[in-house]
């Protein structure tokens, strides 16, 4: 017979271990807000405030919980705990962290009263030119050092209709600065981007901050190699695959051999100086080029650059998790401030899960959570699906919230009693 009381207690203590250093400097009402919201998100797997309120284990009515959470969403400043959150991240991302940069969207096809609702391209539609009502999302996640789970680092929901809107690059660069501020002096970051970020100004921005980049090159770009201007097709024809490398998709279910080459080049009309091109054959029908400012001199260096880019798909999987599991697009708060605050609280909950997987992997509590998820796959690359389901199942048996473990329980006030004798 499963002892859910003990399992639930272990799970709650583990959550408190992660969040306690983050909220210890907050006022007590803000501590309760963060504790309740993250507990409700993990338990309900929802970003609908009424669902979060319904899953709180306290003596307050659902209406009272809803009003309290909604009030704090308007006033809470998530950046007050961001530095402490990043300290938790540095424990699991290693000394050479990989930051994955990408953007997404929130579709609101029937929305009419949402603040500054704009027009965005639907990234999940089969037709890439499908547009609809919604918001843009700029995102950076780090990969944990050993299990390579996506750990959200920087995040922003924005709209082109905002009065203070600037540009997509502005939000991307803002996130890059936030990500770099999370690092210690002995950590050297590498930013990995798809071809949508193939921009000399973007590369210059990263290089000026003493960081590395690995960016997939766009088809249109030309390169200066040994005094010659070459197109992408000409580079691919000249630098055939020199090294063989085996890659795996979906664990051990699918394997493929790729061919890799590299060369030094300069980008036209750029002040970057010499960069390295890594030419990749075999991943897709057409070869691809990766541009990096990292030093490349051996086969191992070339393979390392390719492997960094090959891990880029994990940020796309991260977007699928928050949309399909937690209903990221189903938020019903109407203002951008509330939307960003609620979204940041989801980021904190996802960061906790990445931290939990990295530190608890193959430990007793982790194994219990995976068992509760009832997954038919025994080994996967991204554990967030199973862990989110397992945590939600275990917390569904909770009869108390996290207040007592956080030391947030209200003491009973001594009542004033009239004494006649």
> pLDDT tens digit string along 239-262?
988 888 888 765 545 678 889 999
SS3 243: strand
Q: Where are the alpha helices (DSSP H) in 24-131?
A: 28-44, 49-54, 62-75, 82-90
Banded model confidence at residue 359, pLDDT cuts 50, 70, 90 = very high
- Which range (78-87, 172-181, 402-411) has the least confidence? 402-411
Q: How confident is residue 67, by pLDDT bands cut at 50, 70 and 90? A: very high
Average pLDDT over residues 325-337: 94
- Of the pLDDT bands very low, low, confident and very high (cuts 50, 70, 90), residue 412 is very low
Tokens at 192, concatenated:
């990995």
Termini Cα distance of the chain? 57
Q: What is the mean pLDDT of residues 168-190?
A: 94
CA distances from 126 to 135, 239, 319 (A): 19, 34, 17
Beta strand pairing call for 212-216 and 223-225: unpaired
CB 262 within 8 A of CB 276: yes
Contact of 278 with 306, CB cutoff 8 Å: yes
Q: How far is CA 258 from the centre of its chain?
A: 28
Q: Give the pLDDT band (50/70/90) at residue 304.
A: very high
Question: pLDDT tens-digit profile of 274-283?
Answer: 999 999 998 8
Q: Note whether 270 and 280 are within 8 A (CB).
A: no
**Of the given ranges (114-118, 157-161, 180-184, 410-414), which has the lowest mean pLDDT?**
410-414
pLDDT score at 277: 95
Q: What is the DSSP letter of 79?
A: G
DSSP-derived 3-state class of residue 314: helix
Q: Write down the pLDDT at residue 2.
A: 55
Torsion sign, CA atoms 248, 252, 255, 257: positive
Asked whether the predicted pLDDT for residue 417 surpasses 70, the reply is no
Q: What is the pLDDT of residue 414?
A: 47
Q: What is the pLDDT of residue 394?
A: 95
Q: Domain ranges for the chain, please list them.
A: 4-78+334-406
Query: What is the chain's length?
Result: 421
Residues 3-60 have pLDDT tens digits of 568 899 999 999 999 999 999 999 999 999 999 999 999 999 999 999 999 999 888 8
Predicted confidence band of residue 420 (pLDDT cuts 50, 70, 90): low
Interatomic CA distance for residues 229 and 164, integer angstroms:
41
Checking if the pLDDT of 410 tops 80, the result is no
């Amino acid at each position: 017979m499963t002892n859910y009381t003990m399992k639930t207690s272990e799970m709650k203590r583990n959550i408190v271990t992660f969040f306690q250093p983050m909220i210890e400097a907050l006022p007590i009402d803000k501590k309760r807000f963060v504790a309740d919201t993250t507990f409700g998100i993990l338990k309900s797997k929802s970003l609908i405030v009424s669902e979060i309120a319904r899953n709180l284990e306290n003596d307050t009515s659902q209406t009272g919980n809803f009003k309290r959470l909604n009030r704090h969403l308007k006033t809470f400043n998530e950046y007050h705990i961001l530095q402490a959150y990043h300290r938790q991240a540095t424990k699991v991302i290693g000394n050479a962290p990989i930051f994955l940069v990408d953007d997404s969207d929130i579709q609101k096809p029937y929305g009419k009263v949402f603040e500054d609702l704009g027009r965005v391209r639907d990234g999940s539609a089969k037709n890439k030119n499908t547009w609809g009502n919604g918001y843009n999302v700029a995102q950076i996640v780090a990969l944990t050092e050993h299990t390579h789970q996506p750990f959200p680092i920087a995040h922003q929901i924005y709209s082109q209709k905002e009065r203070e809107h600037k540009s997509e690059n502005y939000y991307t660069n803002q996130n890059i600065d936030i990500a770099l501020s999370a690092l210690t002096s002995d950590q050297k970051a590498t930013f990995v981007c798809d071809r949508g970020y193939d921009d000399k100004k973007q590369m210059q921005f990263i290089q000026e901050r003493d960081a590395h980049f690995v960016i997939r090159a766009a088809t249109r770009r030309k390169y200066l190699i040994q005094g010659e201007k070459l197109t992408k097709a000409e580079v691919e024809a000249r630098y055939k695959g020199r090294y063989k490398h085996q890659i795996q998709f979906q664990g051990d279910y699918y394997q493929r051999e790729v061919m890799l080459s590299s060369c030094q080049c300069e980008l036209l009309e750029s002040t970057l100086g010499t960069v390295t091109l890594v030419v990749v054959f075999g991943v897709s029908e057409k070869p691809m080029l990766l541009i990096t400012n990292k030093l490349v001199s051996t086969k191992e260096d070339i393979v390392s650059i390719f492997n960094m880019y090959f891990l880029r798909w994990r940020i796309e999987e991260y977007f699928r998790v928050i949309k399909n599991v937690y209903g990221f697009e189903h938020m019903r708060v109407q203002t951008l401030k509330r939307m960003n605050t609620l979204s940041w609280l989801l980021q904190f909950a996802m960061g906790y899960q990445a931290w939990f997987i990295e530190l608890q992997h193959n430990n007793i509590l982790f194994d219990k959570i995976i068992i509760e998820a009832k997954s038919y796959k025994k080994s996967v690359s991204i554990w967030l699906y199973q862990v989110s389901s397992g945590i939600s199942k275990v917390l569904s048996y909770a009869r108390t919230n996290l207040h007592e473990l956080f030391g947030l329980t209200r003491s009973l006030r001594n009542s004033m009693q009239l004494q006649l004798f």
